Amino acid sequence: MSDLFCLRGDALANLAVSRDQHGEWECGCSGKFRARCDDAEFPTRFANRALGDLDWDCIEPPDARTTLQEYCANIAAYLDESIGLILSGPVGCGKTHLAIGAAKLACAFGYTALFVNAPTWFQELRESYGTSNSTVEQERMEQMRTADVLILDDLGAEKPSDWARERLYIVINHRALARRVTFATTNRALEELEHVVGERVMSRLYGDALALALVGSDYRQVEREHRLRCIRDTARGVRELSAEKDRACKP
């Protein structure tokens, strides 16, 4: 992610939403944007990635791609109307990258965000049950309730206990009443997800979100091949530069 222009530390800069679309965001020079991203606890893997790094051609089907690009290009309007995202699809189709990229755009507009891996959170709930760690989990739930944008990643990967599902409902219901936005990613079809998280949770998620089913090949494999090509291109450039220097040094 890079600033294409910047007038002053708290100015607006142009941020690529995709290769062909741009949106305005609060320049990271002030440190506010980066601070919000740090507070969001995005995974290290996505620390330096944004929507501009996404290969949109790999996002299928085309109508879902178009809807996502339109959502991201006008994200401030969608956030103001409390419209989130439910991204479903097979492993590796780009759901998490899309959700984090959209959340970073939200951070750029001054919103707070929080990334939570759902299976990890359910495990933490189990481990904290009846222990002194319950206070820590209450604090975590408060963070989840109050973040302007909450990413629930990999929701439905495992079926939570009734107790954990009730905690999930408390969070989602609080957010719905407060008109806060939730991005959920899942490998399950929406009908299957409802069986896992419950009708009440699903009703509140679905009622305030665009639900998009993604398909296609494993985006991680495409991304890996891109990184490998970059490494090879860099290595080739170093070799060519070294050879050119050797030729220049010869009498």
Q: What pLDDT does residue 62 have?
A: 94
CATH of domain 12-217: 3.40.50.300
How far apart (Å, rounded) are the C-alpha atoms in residues 183 and 99?
A: 6
Q: What pLDDT does residue 13 have?
A: 40
CB burial string 73-111: b at 16+ within 10 A, e below? bebbebbeebebbbbbbeebbbbbbbbbbbbbbbbbbeb
Run of H or E residues at 117: strand 113-117
Q: What pLDDT does residue 33 have?
A: 87
Contacts of 81 by beta carbon, 8 Å cutoff, 6+ apart: none
Q: What pLDDT does residue 247 have?
A: 67
For residue 234, how many other CB atoms are within 10 A of its CB?
10
193: nearest Cα among 169, 167, 159:
159
pLDDT along the chain (251 residues), means of 10: 34 44 50 90 90 85 95 95 96 92 93 97 87 80 98 95 94 97 96 94 95 78 64 75 67 61
Could you tell me the two tokens for 141? 């739930």
Could you tell me the two tokens for 105? 């755009």
How far apart (Å, rounded) are the C-alpha atoms in residues 101 and 50?
A: 5
Could you tell me the two tokens for 151? 């990413």
Q: What pLDDT does residue 12 have?
A: 39
Q: What pLDDT does residue 47 have?
A: 86
Q: What pLDDT does residue 4 have?
A: 31
Contact yes or no for 88/188 (Cβ under 8 A): yes
Domain segments of the chain as ranges: 12-217, 220-251
Residue type, 248: A
How far apart (Å, rounded) are the C-alpha atoms in residues 102 and 17?
A: 9
Q: What pLDDT does residue 89 have?
A: 94
Over residues 170-210, the pLDDT tens digits come to 999 999 999 999 999 999 999 999 999 999 999 999 999 99
Q: Is 45 left (phi over 0), alpha (psi -120 to 50) or beta?
A: alpha
The DSSP code sequence of 15-48 is EESSSS-EEEEE-GGGSHHHHHHHHHT--GGGTT
Angle in degrees, 0-180, between the axes of helices 134-146 and 118-128, rounded to the nearest 10: 150
Q: What pLDDT does residue 10 have?
A: 35
